[in-house]
Amino acid sequence: MAQAASSVAREVHRHYIGGEWTAGMDAIANVNPSDLHEVVGHYATATAEQVQAAITAAAQAFESWQFSPIEQRFDALDAIGSEILARREELGRLLSREEGKTLAEGIGEVARAGRVFKFFAGESLRISGELLASTRRGVSVEITREPVGVIGLITPWNFPMAIPAWKIAPALCYGNTVVFKPAELVPASAWALSEIIARAGLPPGVFNLVMGPGRLVGELLVNSPKVRAISFTGSVPIGAAIAAKAAARGAKVQLEMGGKNPLVVLDDADLEVAVNVAVQGAYFSTGQRCTASSRLIVTEGIHDRFIAALEARLATLKIGHALAAGTEIGPVVSEPQLRQDLDYIAIGQREGARLRFGGQPLRLEHEGYYLQPALFTDTQPAMRINQEEIFGPVATVIRARDYEQALAIANDVPFGLSSGVVTRSLRYAADFRRRSQAGMVMVNVPTAGVDYHVPFGGRKGSSYGPREQGRYAIEFYSNCKTAYIAP
């Protein structure tokens, strides 16, 4: 399979445009962050002409795909989901090699991607409308959903298989065609996913893959008048620029961006639950999740006990090669990301926070971007380490007088993606669910780690546009039509 689509000399993995595997002008080497001497593969970068060709192919394919029978969509999405699930171990390994999350996390992410395709296979059979009586005698009103057109999908490096899946599957399910641009750091998972999609029986041009840098490939998608909607996940500055350009030409846009997610630990919390929830939420997947608990807001009565127990748990965490047995935390994804993490650790120290645990780069058996997970205590809410997204295995503790102050601190950031509370009080749990300014609220479970069949998204600077995932995805991936019918 790989040979069929790769150029023989250096096995450069190609773009998929209009149903053909197409060589690029250039290629990048995809390096394993667990072992910098291992190249995962070489991946083509697209020229401007190739991006335009992909957009044109998608636009032409839309002419008939928009009216495709729902069983055709079901069969394709179902087959894609089945193959992903059947190959979860192999694909999870590939994902962990290029991104650095542990093998268990990689396999889990791949399985999730498979389930997403299965979910939207089912949804394609359930696209419904409404029929209402009109205010006018003898007239009825029909409300239906129609596909949007060509959709440009721009994805980040931290979930190289799941995020593409939760954009591609609903786009195809509701009758759109796709041009997919993955993050340059993680083309292997994207390519493997595309290779599966390419064999699922979709007509040429319905799905296209173009790899390459965001400033070229991404920009062309965002600016093309033929691309009727852009779904983007990534950083705030890039998202904001994309939204402005898309809005200026009247295209639909959906953004999922950063977080500075609070986990509130109240006096009455079960200490073991609190520590588990904090460690999983803050540090697993190397803290590189938009839903990571980066601020631990802890009330007076449990503060010292919580920190002592958390520190003891951090000391046992096994940091290592993503594929090694027993590894709990893999490497940071890249050199620039490691630099950013270390910069923020230095900033925190300069701001007067106490670096209670970790924060040092680690030299292990394999040369990689390893970082000892870091914990800051004695921090103030206004510090940069409590306001800006770090996106690494770094968490802070903020001491709060009581529940009300903890809630106020939790809400006092420009982001609002996910939030959590650990408590045994029904009253506080209910109040926190109601007053937390986040799109997703967790009670006694980590802020990161969500289901695939329910909406995902945030508020404030974290998200813009309709929700992703679950049945709510139809809002973005379809347009509404209201028809008035008289006999």
Instruction: Report the catalytic residues.
Output: 256, 290
Binding region for ligand NDP (CB under 6 A) out of 130-138, 235-243, 349-357, 471-479 = 235-243
**246 binds ligand NDP per the rule CB under 6 A:** no
- Cα separation, 285 vs 292, in Å, equals 9
* Residues whose CB falls within 8 Å of the CB of residue 165, separated by 6 or more in sequence, listed in order: 84, 112, 113, 114, 116, 117, 193
**388 binds ligand NDP per the rule CB under 6 A:** no
**258 binds ligand NDP per the rule CB under 6 A:** yes
**45 binds ligand NDP per the rule CB under 6 A:** no
**213 binds ligand NDP per the rule CB under 6 A:** yes
Please report how close the Cβ of residue 336 comes to ligand NDP at its closest, in angstroms.
Answer: 9
Give the closest residue to 197 by CA, choosing from 233, 175, 172.
172
Cβ closest to ligand NDP, residue 48 vs residue 139: 48
Half-sphere exposure of 80 (CA within 13 A, CB side): 37
- The only residue of 169, 290, 394, 473 in contact with ligand NDP, by rule CB under 6 A: 290
Cβ closest to ligand NDP, residue 219 vs residue 351: 219
**419 binds ligand NDP per the rule CB under 6 A:** no
Please report how close the Cβ of residue 462 comes to ligand NDP at its closest, in angstroms.
Answer: 6
Binding region for ligand NDP (CB under 6 A) out of 153-161, 192-200, 319-327, 432-440 = 153-161
Query: Which structure tokens are listed for 424?
Result: 């045994």
**32 binds ligand NDP per the rule CB under 6 A:** no
Binding region for ligand NDP (CB under 6 A) out of 19-27, 90-98, 212-220, 316-324 = 212-220
Cβ closest to ligand NDP, residue 279 vs residue 333: 333
Cβ closest to ligand NDP, residue 238 vs residue 277: 238
- The only residue of 22, 30, 45, 155 in contact with ligand NDP, by rule CB under 6 A: 155
Yes or no: say if 357 and 126 are a contact pair by the CB < 8 Å rule.
no
**478 binds ligand NDP per the rule CB under 6 A:** no
Cβ closest to ligand NDP, residue 108 vs residue 218: 218
**238 binds ligand NDP per the rule CB under 6 A:** yes
Q: How many positions of this chain bind ligand NDP (CB under 6 A)?
A: 28
**215 binds ligand NDP per the rule CB under 6 A:** yes
Cβ closest to ligand NDP, residue 24 vs residue 218: 218
Cβ closest to ligand NDP, residue 255 vs residue 383: 255
- Residues 168-197, mask of contacts with ligand NDP (x by CB under 6 A): -------------x-xxx------------
- The only residue of 27, 200, 323, 417 in contact with ligand NDP, by rule CB under 6 A: 417
Residues that bind ligand NDP (CB under 6 A): 154-158, 181, 183-185, 213-215, 218-219, 222, 233-235, 238, 242, 256-258, 290, 389, 391, 417, 462
